[in-house]
Structure 1
């Protein structure tokens, strides 16, 4: 779905301009997004398999919830909205812990350069996996994986290919932040 998003400079500052998401991806324009990593108190992380029709990383396993921040939309409100839309879970701002903003750039093909700043949150998952409702246009599957297993798979040359290729520093920052909350 195309939407109007804010334009950021290469340091992540808002420029006061907006652009359609499709144009930002075509031109490699930086824009803000949210990542919400949901975890359980017993050390499992909710991961989502991206729908196969997605233009970026189709079919790969990814952060629990991710999405673009609409033009002029509050970052936290965007995170709450995306969690509701993608997995049918109602949360509030008090459920979210922001752990940072991370620069990301990935050339998918000649007409798609994704340049984002991920506003990244943690949120404890307090409901059973079976109660979550996947947004079919975004999510192919949901799974809980232990932190240890995820770390091993991300370090494996074979198993890591099934995950979105974020920088390992990003993954390690997220996993360490979750471990501190357990």
Structure 2
């Protein structure tokens, strides 16, 4: 079973625990969140329909838990595993840590989300998706996504980069992060 580092609410390390216990008891732990961006677009993933947690919802381009044996920088493996992209470290920019909680029956996810922007333009051929994790990748205009995340609009249009299909999505189509998380990420996108 995966072991995660557990922290107090001030991000002070306490001990290691298995992932199931961390989510059952709502213990604070670290995650890696990487948003692929370019001057105009943000790339978002649509989670696989077979995912245990939040199947079929839109989410951060690539994200995952940082294991107890890993550093925050090791989280870059998520981009490579989920999207098949070999990461150029010079294009990866740390944007700090955002506290983030998701509370559902039998599942409390309290994260110190280490947020990164990966600044580059991508084509569909650049991706090799891990099918059990990611169904598709879509682009959303950066300004539109900012407006959605700060509640200035209710929906945005996104385009599947593989087949060009257009969809209109709202926050209810995303993994249910806290409002504070979306607002802080919107601020990061403006920088």
SS at 2:82 equivalent: helix
The residue aligned with 1:170 is: 181
Displacement of 1:119 after TM fit?
0.4
**Residues 102, 176 of structure 1: CA spacing in aligned structure 2 closer, same or farther, 3 A cutoff?**
closer
State the 1:28 CA deviation: 1.1
Question: What is the RMSD computed on CA atoms of the aligned residues?
Answer: 2.0
The residue number in structure 2 matching 1:90 is 86
Q: TM-score, normalised by structure 1?
A: 0.86
Aligned partner (choices 43, 53, 57) of residue 46 of structure 1: 43
Unpaired stretches in structure 2, ≥5 consecutive residues: 156-168
CA-CA distance at 1:37 after TM superposition = 0.7
Please, what TM-score do these two structures have when normalized by structure 2? 0.82
Equivalent residues of 1:147, 1:175 under 8 A apart: no
State whether residues 36 and 64 of structure 1, in contact with CA within 8 Å, keep that contact through their aligned partners in structure 2: yes
Tell me if the contact between 2:98 and 2:184 (Cα under 8 Å) persists in the aligned partners. Answer: no
Determine helix, strand or coil for the equivalent of 2:117. strand
Given that 1:76 and 1:93 are in contact with CA atoms closer than 8 Å, whether structure 2 keeps it comes out as no
Q: Deviations over 1:69-90 (max 9, x none)?
A: 0113110121x21110010111
> Which consecutive unaligned segments of at least 5 residues does structure 1 have?
none
CA-to-aligned-CA distance 1:66-121 (integer Å, 9 cap, x gap) = 1000113110121x211100101111433211111111111222x21111110000
CA displacement 1:51-70 (0-9 Å, x = unmatched): 22333322111111110001
Q: Alpha carbons of 1:140 and 1:108: their partners in 2 closer, same or farther (altered >3 Å)?
A: farther
How many residue pairs are counted as aligned between the two chains? 175
| Closer, same or farther: CA 52–11 of 1 in aligned 2, 3 Å | farther
Query: CA 1:14–1:93 in structure 2 vs 1: closer, same or farther (change >3 Å)?
Result: farther
